[in-house]
Amino acid sequence: MRFKKISSLFAFIVTLFSTATFAQRTDSIPVKHDVSLPQAHKGTLEIDSLLLDSYVRLPENIRKFYLEARSVFEDNAVDFTDERIVAAAANNDIPLIAGPMLGDIKENGVSIWLRPASKNLIEIEIADLAGKETKIYFFNPSVAGQAERIVLGNLSAATKYSYLMKIQGAEVAKGTFQTASKIEETSELRLAFASDFHKIGLHNPNLMEAILARDPMAMLLLGDLAVDDRDTNLSMHRSDYLLRDVSQAWKKLAANVPVYATWDDHDYLNNDLSGLPKGVSKEDREALRAIWAENWNNPKNESAGIYFNTRIADVEVIMLDTRSFRENERRGAYNSYLGEEQLSWLKDVLITSPATFKVISSGTMWSDFISDGKDSWGTWDTLGREELYKLIETENIPGVLLLSGDRHGARGFTIPRNSGFAFYEFGPASLGGVPGPEAIAKDSSTQLFGYLGQGLKAFGELTFSMNEEEPQVTFRLIDEYGNVMEEHSLLYRKLIPNQ
């Protein structure tokens, strides 16, 4: 197996090259302000204001709306339905406070999330790109400023659609999406994934354009995304979501690629915090879970926590809640990481899923190779992890791939087992290009590749090919300019225990 060891000097050269390339691609829209990770963590008015112009100058009415709304959130315990927020939207000609954000893609439909600024009628017209099908949907918001989900159903499978959203006859948003294939007709499926926007990457137009250019069916976001170190200050959680939603780069991505998201420490509370640390109550945890569910467009989960599973064509997507169930006082004990209910649910999903491939995301690393396992499964629940691995092996569950985030940079590993089988873990935690731990493990014998986080703005891609003589999956690591940095293909047999 091969890997790439990038020294600090080489990372510096990569950063210089990336800066030069950016200037060539956006020479008419120069970089306005740079914001570092420590600054983003502080999240003051001054720093959040700099993020507005970190790549492209924001339209003035959107800027004014954000700043007015942020001042309300900073000084009051309110949500988006507060009359001052709604008035600020109206005064600055903002018909949509947020959205549209696509999600929950199916073979016959998609969910559109948005936060309308009024109760005016919303009209959505969709048409397939072949010109054979046109549908119009109408929706009446119940409360101004409240997040809404509109399900566009009764669509055709494996079909590319465009949509146009209007309020009072005026266009407010548009985008495209493609419905999933029927399971028995799936030939190829492409999913993008990564973690660690840390606010910073949400405003990067090059990164969003690179993702869009790959035309993924959907994108999985694995934590440290929009909210940054707000602890239990729910109003500032909302302020950070608004900072996400006014980003023109983010709006374009979310309007055209269905997204699925799970949190990590900075989204949840603060650096390395989890479960119920001192001063955080069960009621606080429920409120944090509720505000997360309100601000993302994930499939509905009837259980506690924010974990869920969904089927996209012939791939089972399983996204875990690896933060809010942790039991700090029992760290290292069985079930201290996912909790009994979530671990049991995960086992059941794996056993019962008929999907060819199963993709499981974890906010932190499955393996313990980097940073001596800091905050990984291994330092929290080695027994639970081993039980899960053994279940996959003894039940001969095929097609499992492990995704992880948190450890800034990008790495790939095999996780060898005594049985001779090996799991594959891919962890591109590089959406923000921020510093992190070592690129290469002390024992790199099972490492596929490794890149430092500083200056690396990249995402992962999984392409599932079903129409080959034998199914296979290809992982690619792609930078913000569309360059393929890594490519690793796995035949299906490599993902079958006891093969």
Which tens digit of pLDDT belongs to each residue from 313-344?
A: 999 999 999 999 999 999 999 999 999 999 99
Based on the domain organization, do 159 and 189 belong to the same domain? no
pLDDT of residue 499: 75
The DSSP code for 156 is P
Q: Dig out the tokens for 107 from the structure.
A: 């073979």
Based on the domain organization, do 299 and 383 belong to the same domain? yes
Which tens digit of pLDDT belongs to each residue from 419-440?
A: 999 999 999 999 999 999 999 9
Domain-located, residue 82: no
pLDDT of residue 387: 97
Based on the domain organization, do 233 and 163 belong to the same domain? no
Residue 164 maps to which CATH number? 2.60.40.10
Q: Is residue 121 pLDDT above 90, yes or no?
A: yes
Q: Strand 315-319 vs strand 357-362: parallel, antiparallel, or unpaired?
A: parallel
What lies within 8 Å, CB to CB, of 241 at 6+ separation is 98, 226, 227, 295
* CB-based contact 345:307 (threshold 8 Å): yes
Q: Is residue 11 pLDDT above 80, yes or no?
A: no
Peptide bond just before 398 cis, omega within 30 deg:
no
The amino acid occupying position 109 is: G
* β partners of residue 170: 167
Domain-located, residue 241: yes
Which tens digit of pLDDT belongs to each residue from 370-400?
A: 988 889 999 999 999 999 999 999 999 999 9
Based on the domain organization, do 151 and 190 belong to the same domain? no
Total structural domains within the chain:
2
- How large is the average pLDDT for residues 4-12? 37
Predicted TM-score (pTM) of this structure: 0.93
The boundaries of the domain holding residue 342 are: 183-495
Q: Could you say which of 119, 154, 178 is where a domain stops?
A: 178
CA–CA distance, 104 with 109 (Å, rounded to integer): 8
Q: Dig out the tokens for 100 from the structure.
A: 């549209």
Which tens digit of pLDDT belongs to each residue from 474-499?
A: 999 999 999 999 999 999 999 999 87
Based on the domain organization, do 300 and 168 belong to the same domain? no
Cα diameter, the chain: 65
Domain-located, residue 58: no
Based on the domain organization, do 368 and 319 belong to the same domain? yes
Sign of CA dihedral 179, 182, 185, 188: positive
- How large is the average pLDDT for residues 249-254? 98
Based on the domain organization, do 410 and 383 belong to the same domain? yes
Write b or e for each residue in 137-174: b if 16 or more Cβ atoms lie within 10 A of its Cβ, otherwise e. Answer: bebebeebbebbebebeebebebebebebbbeeeebbe
| Residue percentage of the chain with pLDDT more than 90 | 87
Of 376, 479, 431, whose CA–CA distance to 202 is shortest? 431
* β partners of residue 476: 461, 487
What lies within 8 Å, CB to CB, of 362 at 6+ separation is 222, 320, 322, 377, 402, 403, 404, 405
Based on the domain organization, do 288 and 338 belong to the same domain? yes
Q: Could you say which of 153, 178, 203 is where a domain stops?
A: 178
Domain-located, residue 333: yes
* CB-based contact 498:397 (threshold 8 Å): no
Which tens digit of pLDDT belongs to each residue from 155-213?
A: 999 999 999 999 999 999 999 999 999 988 889 999 999 999 999 999 999 999 999 99
Q: Is residue 7 pLDDT above 60, yes or no?
A: no
Based on the domain organization, do 462 and 359 belong to the same domain? yes
pLDDT of residue 32: 60
Which tens digit of pLDDT belongs to each residue from 49-101?
A: 999 999 989 999 999 999 999 999 999 999 999 999 999 999 999 999 999 99
Q: Dig out the tokens for 407 from the structure.
A: 């450890």
Based on the domain organization, do 153 and 189 belong to the same domain? no
Based on the domain organization, do 211 and 156 belong to the same domain? no
* CB-based contact 259:295 (threshold 8 Å): no
Residue 232 maps to which CATH number? 3.60.21.70
Q: 122 or 19: whose pLDDT is higher?
A: 122
- How large is the average pLDDT for residues 292-300? 97
Q: At what angle do helices 60-75 and 45-52 cross, to 10 degrees?
A: 160
Q: Is residue 120 pLDDT above 90, yes or no?
A: yes
Q: Could you say which of 144, 178, 212 is where a domain stops?
A: 178
Q: Is residue 48 pLDDT above 80, yes or no?
A: yes
Domain-located, residue 73: no
Domain-located, residue 80: no
Q: Is residue 271 pLDDT above 70, yes or no?
A: yes
Domain-located, residue 286: yes
* CB-based contact 460:476 (threshold 8 Å): yes
| Residue percentage of the chain with pLDDT more than 70 | 94
Domain-located, residue 144: yes
Based on the domain organization, do 317 and 395 belong to the same domain? yes
